[in-house]
Amino acid sequence: MKRLIHLVTGDDNATLEPSYFWSAVALLIGFGLEIYCTLTGKPFDLQAYGIGAAALLAGLGVSAKLRK
Domain ranges of the chain: 18-67
Single-letter amino acid code for the residue at 8: V
Which residues pair with residue 16 across a beta bridge? 9
The arithmetic mean of pLDDT across residues 28-33, rounded, is: 93
Which residues pair with residue 9 across a beta bridge? 16
- Report the pLDDT value the prediction gives residue 61, as an integer from 0 to 100: 76
- Residue bearing the bigger pLDDT, 58 or 43: 43
Backbone angles phi, psi at 14, to 5 degrees: -130, -35
pTM beyond 0.85: no
